[in-house]
Amino acid sequence: MADVEDPYNHSHRAFLQAFLAHSILTFEELKPILAAILSVHDDREVLPNDITEPDVSTYLHTLNSKLAPVDYEIRPARSQKDHSTSYVLVNLTSDAVTQLATTHSPDEIAFVKRVLDAMFETHNTRNHEVMAITRMQARHLSKAPRTSIANEDGGTQTQSVAAQGLTLPQAEKMLDDMVEEGWFENSAAGYYSLSARALAELRDWLRETYNEMPGEGDEDETVIRIRNCEACTEIVTIGQRCSNHACACRLHDICTQRLFRSQAANARRCPKCKEEWTGKDFVGEKAAKRNGGSRQHGSTASSRQVTQNGARRDSSEDDGE
8 Å CB contact between 38 and 46: yes
6-20, 147-161, 254-268 — which one is most confidently predicted on average? Answer: 6-20
Residue 159 has pLDDT above 60, yes or no: no
**Does residue 77 surpass a pLDDT of 90?**
yes
- DSSP character at residue 120: I
| Residue 156, C-beta contacts closer than 8 angstroms, at least 6 positions apart | 148, 149, 150
φ/ψ region of 138 (left if φ > 0, alpha if ψ in -120 to 50, else beta) reads alpha
Average pLDDT over residues 296-304: 39
Q: Are strands 282-283 and 250-251 parallel, antiparallel or unpaired?
A: unpaired
Average pLDDT over residues 111-123: 97
Residue ranges of alpha helices (H) inside the chain are 10-22, 27-42, 53-67, 96-101, 106-117, 135-139, 168-180, 196-210, 253-259, 285-290, 294-297
- Mean pLDDT over all residues of the chain? 85
Exposed/middle/buried for 164, CB within 10 Å: 0-12, 13-18, 19+?
middle
**8 Å CB contact between 132 and 295:** no
The confidence band for 300, taking pLDDT boundaries of 50, 70 and 90, is very low
| Bridge partners (DSSP) listed for residue 129 | 124
Which one has a higher pLDDT value, 313 or 7?
7
Tell me if 201 sits within 8 A of 90, measured CB to CB: yes
Residue range 10-91 forms a domain whose CATH class is: alpha beta
C-alpha 211, offset from chain centre: 13
At 315 the pLDDT is: 39
Report the share of the chain in percent with pLDDT over 90: 68
Whole-number percent of the chain with pLDDT over 70 = 81
pLDDT tens readout for residues 80-97: 988 899 999 998 887 777
Q: How many CB atoms lie within 10 A of CB 321?
A: 6
Domain boundaries, the chain: 10-91, 104-318
Task: Tell me, yes or no, if the two domains 10-91 and 104-318 fold the same way.
Answer: no
Q: Tell me the whole-structure pTM to 2 decimals.
A: 0.81
pLDDT of 237 over the 70 cut: yes
pLDDT score for 155: 58
CB 238 within 8 A of CB 252: yes
Q: Does residue 261 have a pLDDT over 50?
A: yes
Task: Please report which confidence band the pLDDT of residue 296 belongs to, taking 50, 70 and 90 as the band edges.
Answer: very low
Domain at 104-318: CATH architecture: Orthogonal Bundle (1.10)
CB 177 within 8 A of CB 192: no
- With 90 as the cut, is the pLDDT of residue 231 above it? yes
Of the pLDDT bands very low, low, confident and very high (cuts 50, 70, 90), residue 190 is: very high
Q: Is the pLDDT of residue 249 over 90?
A: yes
Q: How confident is the model at residue 152 (pLDDT cuts 50, 70, 90)?
A: low
* Terminal-residue alpha carbon distance, the chain: 69
Model pLDDT, residue 292: 56
Whether the Cβ atoms of residue 225 and residue 121 lie closer than 8 Å to each other: yes
Phi/psi for 92 (5° steps) reads -75, -15
b/e 94-115 (16+ beta carbons within 10 angstroms → b): bbbeebbeeebeebbbbbbbbb
Task: Answer yes or no: is pLDDT of 70 > 80.
Answer: yes
3-class DSSP string for 11-33? HHHHHHHHHHHHCEEEHHHHHHH
DSSP 57-111: HHHHHHHHHHHGGGTEEEEEEE-TTT--EEEEEEETT--HHHHHHTTS-HHHHHH
Q: What is the pLDDT of residue 216?
A: 65
